[in-house]
Amino acid sequence: MRPLDDALVSRLARELHLLPTTARCLVGRGIGELEAARAFLAPRLGGLRRPEGVAGLAGFGAAADRVTRAVLRGERIAVFGDYDVDGVTTCALLTSFLRGCGAAVTPRVARRDEGYGFCAEAAADVMVVKPGLVITGDCGTSDAAVIASVRAQGVDVIVVDHHTVPAAGEVHPALALVNPFRTDSAFPFRGMASVGISFYLAAAVRTRLKEQGWFDGRPEVDPRDLLDLVALGTIADLVPLSGENRILTAAGLKLVVERKRPGLAALLAVSGMDVGGDRPIDEKTVSWKLAPRLNAPGRLGDAAPALELLLASADEAGARAQALEGANQRRRELQDQMVEEAFALAEVSAGGSEPGPAIVVASERFAPGVVGIVAAKLVDRYQRPAFVIAVDAATGIARGSARSAGGVDLYRALGQCAPMLERWGGHAAAAGLTMRAADAGAMTSAVDRLREALGAAVLAEGSGKVHGLGAEADDTIELGLVDDRLADELGALAPFGQDNPAPLLVARGLQVRASKKVGDGSHLKLELACPRTRITRGAIAFGQGAQDPGPGTTVDVAFTPARSTWMGKSRVELEVKRIVAPADQTR
């Protein structure tokens, strides 16, 4: 368990009338001051910091001014978004907002076969509509050559992006590059997804248009009505759920619950969220239900069906949700095949021993659009960073995705291997790479060298492996203290994600009273008891069906308290992350 300032914990618990465990969770997240804790427990849009001014985002003012002029002049605006959820929601948000302002907008999202970002083919397609302004979302920072060619044709380009900015070099050709990672950006929070930055841009443009009297006699669009899109893109993109992101996501999830957007209401229905009406809609709903379906078309090819769903009318929404459901089913079938092969390759590369500090697997049978999901599955199994690479033998190009573990910064790790890569980028928690080789033999050798280099880079970052049942726990607790109040207080720390993980508690020496596999057999339902007090609690261990300890076993568990509602009745249960027999773990 992490050492904390016990005096600070006691003060928070006393002043805010919190349980000691809740106060420990706050202090463990760096929230020890009373006012900061109050703001964290009750996030408000009024707590957002201004993106303009001395402490603002570089390029933001120029971008807002140019978009405003485009609306006032009646210019056609082309909005281009990348093919993942952040890119698609960015495109949907800006399109919805600008159309609400009366602008002529042509939206377009990326196609997997074109390659990453605002590539030449995508730019040529966008230019067909003769726009006066092009806005790229969730891409563009690394697409300087293509953007320069667009500007050479007399069309301004605004880039709204959050991917890591390369080392200092030439001035970016966009009229405005709005990216919190710019070295000259003074905005205090660098973790926003592109869709969050786009929300800020929409709000600033709305203010400018009001000052110009644009809405006199016109309906006034409210950017706050678009926060459901911000929540989707922010959660799905694995950016930190702290700072501005926490405020935006908390507000946006309330809109998702209200189902005001026809496409999202239909998508919730096809994903089974309306059955029984008892299931809460939270960040897990986005991560497990909505994001995979929105990502599915882009993983298989063209992301347009996801954009069409988010922009759909009530009459169109049902059919478009069904189209995404079908794409998601095809994605799952492909994913299952890839996961099985990836696990086998990981075992082979390890030679039957403990895997190295990083898992690196490659195959010609991997689909580029699904490698990120497979990397996440490898992280779940091996508890260390994973890199999954799809090889195209016909072109000699390999594209991969990576997911992190143990606090390893993937962007920095890949930077250590830059001479081996044609292209790479992303974030600390999720990143991508491109390699090229002359033939299959050369590609195999290149992957082997990359595996060795990444192993060394990960070791330089830290081991990359998650150690010990209680090493990252917030508190060790008696089973009888896991009650309604604790679940409700810890629930107030949500939404959970990067930089704001769900509280992790440890209970030791529990007896397994009953256990059974549920769902498709991959999950485990348990009844756990404290032998001393005889208090019992139900528990669910997602994805741990194969680790059933069996009735009568004594175990230690790492878990998050959660509310489970069924047929209108609510009870507290343990959402188990790890189950370990005490004799088998290092304390």
How does pLDDT run across 238-278, given as a tens digit for each residue? 899 999 999 999 999 999 999 999 999 999 999 988 755 55
Helix (H/G/I), strand (E/B), else coil: 85: helix
What pLDDT is attached to residue 465? Answer: 57
- What ranges do the domains of the chain cover? 1-42, 60-221, 354-461, 469-584
Q: Is the pLDDT confidence value at 572 over 50?
A: yes
| Rounded CA separation 423/419 (Å) | 10
How does pLDDT run across 408-430, given as a tens digit for each residue? 899 899 999 999 998 888 778 88
CATH fold for the domain made of 469-584: OB fold (Dihydrolipoamide Acetyltransferase, E2P) (2.40.50)
How does pLDDT run across 365-392, given as a tens digit for each residue? 999 989 999 999 999 888 899 999 999 9
Task: Answer yes or no: are the C-beta atoms of 480 and 535 closer than 8 Å.
Answer: yes
Query: Tokens for 329?
Result: 């089913």
Instruction: Decide: residue 381, CB within 10 A, 0-12 exposed, 13-18 middle, 19+ buried.
Output: middle
Instruction: Decide: residue 415, CB within 10 A, 0-12 exposed, 13-18 middle, 19+ buried.
Output: middle
Burial 35-74 (b: 16+ CB within 10 A, else e): eebebbeebeeeebeebeeeebbbbbbebbebbbbbbeee
Residues 6+ apart with CB under 8 A from 331: 292, 295, 296, 299, 300, 369, 370
CATH fold for the domain made of 354-461: Diaminopimelate Epimerase; Chain A, domain 1 (3.10.310)
Task: Answer yes or no: are the C-beta atoms of 506 and 1 closer than 8 Å.
Answer: yes
How does pLDDT run across 200-212, given as a tens digit for each residue? 999 999 999 999 9
54-58, 453-457, 545-549: range with lowest mean pLDDT: 545-549
How does pLDDT run across 146-201, given as a tens digit for each residue? 999 999 999 999 999 998 787 666 789 999 999 999 999 999 999 999 999 999 99
Residues 6+ apart with CB under 8 A from 544: 523, 524, 576, 579
Of residues 330 and 349, the one with the higher pLDDT is 330
How does pLDDT run across 1-16, given as a tens digit for each residue? 667 889 999 999 999 9
Query: Tokens for 526?
Result: 């348990």
Q: Is the pLDDT confidence value at 587 over 80?
A: no
Q: What is the dihedral of CA 72, 77, 82, 87, to 10 degrees?
A: 30
Check the CA dihedral 292-297-301-304 and report its sign: negative
How does pLDDT run across 318-340, given as a tens digit for each residue? 999 999 999 999 999 999 999 99
Check the CA dihedral 360-361-366-372 and report its sign: negative
Supply φ then ψ for residue 20, to 5 degrees.
-55, -35
Mean pLDDT confidence for 28-38: 94
How does pLDDT run across 277-315, given as a tens digit for each residue? 557 889 999 999 999 999 999 999 899 999 999 999 999
169-173, 360-364, 432-436, 483-487: range with lowest mean pLDDT: 169-173
117-126, 342-351, 570-579: range with lowest mean pLDDT: 342-351
CATH numeric code, 60-221: 3.90.1640.30
Supply φ then ψ for residue 144, to 5 degrees.
-60, -45
